[in-house]
Amino acid sequence: MRKEDCYLLGKITRRHGLAGNVILKLDTDQPELYNKLESIFVEINGLLVPFFIVKSSWSKNDALNLAFKNSSEAVVDQVLGKNVYLPLTTLPKLSGKQFYYHEIIGFDILDEQDKECGVIRSVNDQTAQNYFVTNLDGKEVVIPIIKDWILEVHREERFIKMQLPEGLIDVFLVSSKKDE
């Protein structure tokens, strides 16, 4: 399994008990989708290594207590602090205005008048307000991801139409001209 074909599910944060169990802290808005995991991929030394789950239970709302098949102290030591992945094919298909951040990289952002506002280069979800990092005419533009601003998502045509506040894009273009 290649990392490019997977998405980050979470991280193994600590041991749980003495029987070789670990806690998987999920990085998702919908932890309930992962009630019945049969296997996961753990990134070890740059490779995705499969681990088969024999038992799981909820530790907290967003953390699973996992027991692996053929687990030992050495296995637990090897997976502690490591990122956990699942194949992209396991994600449910989204429709309408919903999207996964990884799927919209390279999409154009258009305003209500179909004026281009940049191409999505990345998504920052590490701050209180998630935002698109776009590139417009060689300039970096940051567009907050606010549900009410998203009007349409066109997967086939690869663009997102948004209702942006007047002057938002101009702020970035004007400020970057001052820096030149």
What is the pLDDT confidence band of residue 32, given thresholds at 50, 70 and 90? confident
For 81-101, how does the pLDDT look when each residue is reduced to its tens digit (9 = 90+)?
A: 999 999 999 888 888 899 988
Question: Which residue type is seen at 60?
Answer: K
- Domains of the chain (ranges; CATH) run 3-90 (2.40.30.60), 101-165 (2.30.30.240)
What is the rounded (10 degree) CA torsion for 7, 89, 5, 127?
-20
Its pTM stands at 0.70
Residue appearing with tokens 């567009």: 143
User: Using an 8 Å Cβ cutoff, are 161 and 151 in contact?
Assistant: yes
Rounded to the nearest 5 degrees, what angle is found at the Cα of 98, between the Cα atoms of 91 and 23? 45
DSSP reduced 3-state for 172? helix
Element (H, E) at 48: strand 47-60
20 pLDDT above the threshold of 80:
no
